[in-house]
Chain A
C-alpha cells in the first residue's frame, strides 16, 4: 500500500512542478496577447491587462491561476472573448481522446500481431517482412503517411475524406496515420520480449511434456512476454500525443493540439496552461495505470514495497 501512496504523491508533486515550469516558460516567451497588427491605445491596453490580471507580477498570476485550478477553473480565454478555457477544453478533449484511443487500439492490435508472428517464425521470411515493416514504420514521418493516404484514398479513389472530424469515415485516415509509429514500436518490443521468454526453461518444459506449439505460446509464453510490453505504454501514450500535433494539423481535426498551437502563437496564456496541464495529467495518469496494472499482473512486484 505504501508503494501506491508514494507513487500517487509523486505524481501530484510532478504535476505541480510541471505547472510551475510551463508557466515560467510561457511567460518568458516574448510578446503578449495584445501585440496585434494595430497598436492599441495605452488606456485600452492597461484595461485589458487589468482584466486578465496581466498587470500583476508573474508569481501572483501563477498563484491566482493555481487558486482557480483548485476548483477546476482554467480561467477565461484571452483570444476567444467570452469563452472559458474549460469550454474549449471540454469541446476538444473528447476529440483528441477519441483519436488517441483508436490509434492506441490499432497500434496494440497491429503491433502485437506483427511482433508475435515475427518471434514465432523467427528467421523466416515472415520475421524479416514484419521487421522491415516495423523499422519503416519507425522511420516514416507521419506527414508522409498522411500525404500518401490523402493522395491515394481521398484524391485518386475518392473514398475517404481528407480533413475534418465528423463521420466515422473521417476518422479512418487520422487514426491510421497516428497509430502506425506506435504499432511499429510495439511490434519490435513484443518480438524481443517473446523471443526472450521462448528461450526460458519453463517453456522448454512445456514443450517437453508434449504441448502443442500453439498452446505453449498462447498459454505459457505470451502472458509473461506481454508484461514488459505493458511498461512501454506510458512512453507510447507520449508518442501518440506528440504525433497528434501533426495529425490534427494535417487533417484539420479540432482537437487539443490544434488549440495548443493557436494558443501559443496568440499568447493565449490560460489556454496554453490548460492544454499543457491536461496533456501532463493524461501522461501521468497513463504511467500510474501502468504501475498499478504491473503490480496486479505480476504478483512478485507486491513484495518490492
Chain B
C-alpha cells in the first residue's frame, strides 16, 4: 500500500469503526466488539507491515495543508517512537476489546462502549502519528473528550460522573495550557511542523520565551500523565469499567504525556530548568504514588496509585536529560504497558468472579482460580522488578542512571529517594499478589463463589504476561532493535550501544535493587502495623480540595456575572445606550473639526416642511400616548407613511414601495399581537427613572442627529456606487440599478438576508405552534375578550371585495416582479404586495376558511426559496464562473416582442418565495392563535349562558 494511503487508513480506521459501531448500536455485543477488534487488528497488521522499514530508519510522512494560514497541516508521520506507541495502542487495544467482550454483560450499552473506545483509540493514534504540533493538539483534546465518555460510561453512577468530570477538568484544562505552550513553541521555532521543530533545538533553548513555553508544555504533560500535583484525577477515573482502566492507564491516555515528553526530548531537555523540574516532579510522584499504593484496599485503587508511581518513574527518567536514561524509559514503557494492562485485567477478573475488589475481603484465591493467580502473580513480580522478568531489567537501568544525576547539587538525593520508591513498589506489588492469592481466605463468601473465568477473559492478560516474562528472558531478541531505534528517535541521534540482560555483574545498582527487594519484603511482613500507622495519619483529600476549588470558582464567577450582567433588560439596554452615547459624545468632542460641512444644502419645499412637522408630532405622540396602544399604532403608521414619502422625494422608488408594503404588514402584525396583549396597562416606571431615560434619549438623539447632519453636509468620499451604475446594464442586464445590485452585484448579501428572514419565520412558528400547551395554553383558553367586536364576524362587503381583489393583486404582483430588473419593483416588493392580498383573505374570511384553501405551506415556501436562490448561485459554478454570477440574454418572442431572460430572475424567485413565506408564516400563525383564543372565549360565554338558564 502506498505510504500516504496507509497512514491515512491507519488514523481513519478507528474512527470508521466507531462510526459503524454507533450506527449498529442496536445490534448485539458480538457485532460491536467484532467491529472494534477488526479495526484494531487491521491497524495492527498495517503497523507490523511497515515495522521493519521504520525500525530500519525510514521515516514515513505525508502532509496536506488544512488551515495553511495558521500553519496547521494535516500531516502524519511515523518514526520508531510513533511506531512503538501505535503498536501499543493497537495491540493492547485489541486485547482490551477481546477482554471487554467477555467482561461486559450483554445487556450493557456495548455499542456506546466500543464506539467510545474506538474514538479514543483513533485520538491516541492521532497524537502519536501527528507530524504537526497543532494537529497533535486537536487529537490531544479529542483524547480528553473521549476518555470523559469512557470513564463516565456507567452514567447512572455518581462516582463515574464525578470521576469523568474531574478527569476532563484536569486533563482538558492541562490541554488548554498545552495549546499555549505549543503555540509558543511553534512561534519560537518558526514552524509548526514537528520535524522542523525537532531540528531547531538550539534556537528554541536560546529563546527568552523558552522557560515560559517549557512550563506550559510541562503542565500539559503532567496533567495528562497524572504527575504530582495533578495526579488526583487518576484514582477517581477508576470508576470506569475495568477494560477502560486497563487501556487508559497502561498504554494510552496517561502515556500521552510521557510520549510528548519523549517526542520533544531533543528540543526541551538538557537545560538546568528542565532537568530540575521534570526530575523532581517525577521523583515526588514516584515516591508518593508508591507510598499511597501500599495502603489502598481497592484493587483498582492500588493499581491506580502504582500507575501514578510508575509514570513518575518514566517522567523522572526523561527528566535526567541523559541518553541512557531515555533508553531505560523506552524499555520501561514497554514493560509497564505489558504488566499493568495484565494486572488491571486480572483485577477485573477477580472483581467479576468474586464480586468484590476489596483486598481485605479476599485471600487464598490461588486455590480456586489458579490461572488468574499465575498470571497476576507474574505480572506483579514484573512490577516489583524481580528477576527474571522484564521489569527487573528496566528497574536496574533506572537505578543505575540515578547514580549519574545530582539534584540541587546533592548527589545522593535521587538514588536514595528512587531506591525508597523502588522498595515501596516491591512492597505494594508483593502485597497485591500475596494478599490476594495466598494465605487464608479472609471472608468465606467471595472465596466460595470464585473460580477461573473462561479462556476468553484470561487469554489477554496471559498473553501480556508471557510478553513480560520474555522481555526479561530474551530482552535483546525480543525488543533490542526496537528499543534501540526508538531511543534513537527520542534522542534525535543514534542511541548508545545497548546490552539488555538480566546479569550485569555485581555493581551498585544491583545492591540498590537487592536492598529494595529485601526491605520491600520486610515491609510486607510488617504491613498490618504500617497500615495502622498510615491510617492514624491525616491525609489531604484531593477530591474535597478539588470540589472546594471548583465551588469557589463557581461562586466568584457568579458574583462577577451578577455584577456585570444583571438579568434586567432595562438595565442592560440603558448601559448599552449610555456607552454608545458616551462614545459618540467623546468622538465629537475630541475629534476636532466642525459639525457642519461645506456641502451646500438644498432648500426645502413647504410640503417637505409640513411632512417633517407631522413626523415630529407623530413621534412625540407615540412617546406620550404609549399606553393607549391602539392609538399609538395610528401614529406609528403616520411616521411610516412620511418616511415612504421621503423615499419618493429623494429618488428611491424601490424603497418607497418596500416601505409602504412593510408598513401595512407591520401594522397588521402589531394589531394581531395587541389583540391578545394588555391594551392600556398602568404606568410602570417611577418619575426619576423616566427623567433619567429621557435625558439619555435626548443625548442619543442629539448625537445621532448631529452625526447625520455632519454627514449630510459633506460630500461623499469617493463612493463605489459608480461601478454599480456603470455595469448595471452592460454587466447585469438590468436598468434598475438597485434591483441589479440586490440580485447580482451583492447577491451574496441578499442570500444571507433571505436566510435570516426564513429563520425568523421558522422561529416564529416554533414559538407559536406550541402555545397551546402548558401555562400559555391555559392562559389562552381562559382568555377574555376585552375589545368591542363587530357583531358580524365576516362582513359581506369586505369578504367580497377582498376576493375580487385577490386575482387583481396577484396580477399586479407578477407585474411588479417581472419589471423589477428594469423598473422599480422586484422580488422583495412583489412578495410583500402578494402577502398583503393573502392576509386580507385571512382578515375578511377568517383563518379557517383561508387556511383550508391554502395549497402550499409556508415551510415549503421558505425552504424552496432558499434552495432556488442557492441553486441559481451554484448553477454559475457549473459554467466555471464564480458563485452567484448571473447571465442574461434577449430573446424574440412572437407577439410579445423582445424579452430579457436573466438567471438573476431565478434568484429573485427565491427571494420572492422566502419573503412571502416568512411574512405569511408570522401573520398566519398569529391570527391562528387569536382565532383559538376567540373560540375559547365564545365557548366560555356559551357555557355561562347555558349555566345561567335553569
- Do A and B come together as binding partners? no
Chain B positions within 8 Å of A, measured between CB atoms, are: none
Chain A positions within 8 Å of B, measured between CB atoms, are: none
